[in-house]
Amino acid sequence: MLTAATLGMAGYAVYAIVEGLIDLLWWSRVEAWANVGSVVFGLLLIAAAAFVRVLIPGGLALALGALLGLQALSIHAAGSLEMVPQVVRGSVAALLVLLAYMGARRSRPGADDAA
């Protein structure tokens, strides 16, 4: 589960970075700061995905923060009329966090003893 979460987060981050760069350089649908923010949060999510994989404390919180930042910028860019893609993106982000959480609980030594 942890590997799937890490690969999903990395893929989500690469998508956000590429989308932000394309929009910044060619389309310019939103302000430049929103596109730069998307690239920065994407880079942060790549680092957080690596932290999640090796179970560094705070890695999951960092990934959650980056995912929430990307979701907020996506909502800003989409406007109020495109609700379905935002729900899908939010659901994918929530699924990735859930996979990482469950994988981390399963990978920790003594995780079964605490229950």
Handedness of CA 53, 59, 64, 70 (dihedral sign): negative
Structure tokens at 90: 């939010």
Summarised one tens digit per residue, pLDDT across range 19-42 is 999 989 988 777 889 899 999 999
Cα–Cα distance for residue pair 38/71, rounded to 1 Å: 9
Number of domains comprising the chain: 1
For residue 17, the domain's CATH number is 1.20.120
44 falls in which pLDDT band (50, 70, 90)? very high
Cα dihedral: 106, 53, 99, 74 (round 10): 160
- Per residue in 45-73, pLDDT (tens digit) is 999 999 999 999 999 999 999 999 999 99
Q: What is the pLDDT of residue 99?
A: 94
Instruction: Establish if 112 belongs to a structural domain.
Output: no
Rounded CA separation 74/55 (Å): 28
- The verdict on residue 114 lying in a domain is no
Is 102 within a domain?
Answer: yes
What's the pTM value of the predicted model, to 2 decimals? 0.85
Question: What pLDDT shows up at residue 112?
Answer: 53
